[in-house]
Amino acid sequence: CHLIHYLRLSHHLIVLNYVIHTFDKLKFVSSEDVNITDAVFDGVEVRVFEPPMKGDERLKRSVVYIHGGGWALASARTSLYNNLCRIMAESLNAVVVSVEYRLVPEVRFPEQFHDTLRATKYFLQPDVLAEYSVDPGRIAISGDSAGGNLAAAVCQQLSKDEHLTIKPKLQALIYPVLQAFDFNTPSYQQNMNMPVLPRYVMINYWIDYINANYDLAHSLLINNHTALDVGQALSFRGRLNWTSLLPSSFKKNYKPVIQTTGKAEIIREIPALLDVRAGPLLAENETLQLQPKTYILTCENDVLRDDGVMYAKRLQNAGVEVTLDHFDDCFHGCMIFTVWPTDFSAGIQTRNSYIKWLDESL
């Protein structure tokens, strides 16, 4: 993929997505248990999973789901996410709306955010909810990894929308990526070379998402963009102080990496690095206070572990009811790996815990 990119034949992410879809020739088939249809919500493609009505049931609960993949890979239509959403619909007896937002490199930040926000707001209209027989008081927004990033950002935006009459009851974030401020949290240091999502890969996903130059990778890795002399970062520093937000069991013996002098021009050229729509963990307390009851799943063997843990702590400090569901023996991305030949026990374990919380809370 990278050789093809280097030769300028195509972008490596386009090639990688082509490979993923080539090995994933899934044709969805509606069954007696779940009716699966594709639709367009305010210009955004979605896949809707609808279980049949039971008895005298009139309204169902619902989950808006946003898939992961570094804002660049996968799809609501791939077998892994199709399978997850179908099982969610069956297990919860809920209407699941899986958002097919546009990907890097076709579009960059903030277009993925706008796609997801538009689709969600469209679905939250009373007449649309009625069309799908959804209870307006029992809707969750959820996503994994980059999808968790988009779910958190959209939930923050919805919470501040005074014109919106129906808002999510819950948000459920699965190993979400929530900030590009500090790439040296304890989990980034501990898991820097961990398979599935090494630190340099996560940094490259950010670079692609915010349309930056790969030459900035090293500066980002050592936190030059948020050094003490970078004035734009000053107001955000306290919101991501992991020395106070993380428990000692996560901090271990790791030390903060804070440069005295850095490169302020990085933030001037790429303001998205400090945009709360890209990094929901940067949000002010006034926004966090508006968030609904929240579930956050984290894995020990994951560079993004501390993003989720810090967000859970900040939400709790703001008065939000939060369930932090941490798995010591699991890894980033594990929840979608439940189908042969990647049917891992970590996937079954995390998926069951996630669905159980939704079932009890929604």
Beta bridge partners of 331: 301
Residue 95, C-beta contacts closer than 8 angstroms, at least 6 positions apart: 48, 49, 50, 51, 60, 61, 62, 63, 89, 132, 133, 134
Phi, psi of 300 (to 5 degrees): -60, -40
Alpha-carbon distances, residue 150 vs 114, 157, 278, 281 (angstroms): 9, 10, 8, 12
Total residue count of the chain as it appears in this document:
362
Residue 197, C-beta contacts closer than 8 angstroms, at least 6 positions apart: 191, 302, 303, 304, 332, 333
Contact between 72 and 17 under an 8 Å Cβ cutoff? The reply is yes
Place of tokens 């997801």: 116
Place of tokens 């619909």: 89
**Residue 332 bears catalytic tag:** yes
Of 145, 159, 208, 307, the active-site residue reads 145
Place of tokens 């069951």: 352
Of 182, 302, 306, 325, the active-site residue reads 302
Q: With the C-alpha atoms ordered 110, 108, 142, 199, is the resulting torsion angle positive or negative?
A: negative
Contact between 97 and 122 under an 8 Å Cβ cutoff? The reply is no
**Cα gap 57→126, rounded to integer Å:** 18
Instruction: Pull the structure tokens for residue 97.
Output: 């709306």
**Residue 244 bears catalytic tag:** no
Of the candidates 122, 25, 18, the residue with the CA atom closest to the CA atom of residue 72: 18
Place of tokens 């130059």: 213
The C-alpha angle with vertex 39 and arms to 31 and 83, in degrees rounded to 5, equals 40
Instruction: Pull the structure tokens for residue 195.
Output: 């398979």
Contact between 204 and 303 under an 8 Å Cβ cutoff? The reply is no
**Residue 33 bears catalytic tag:** no
**Cα gap 320→97, rounded to integer Å:** 25
User: Among all residues, which ones are annotated catalytic?
Assistant: 145, 302, 332
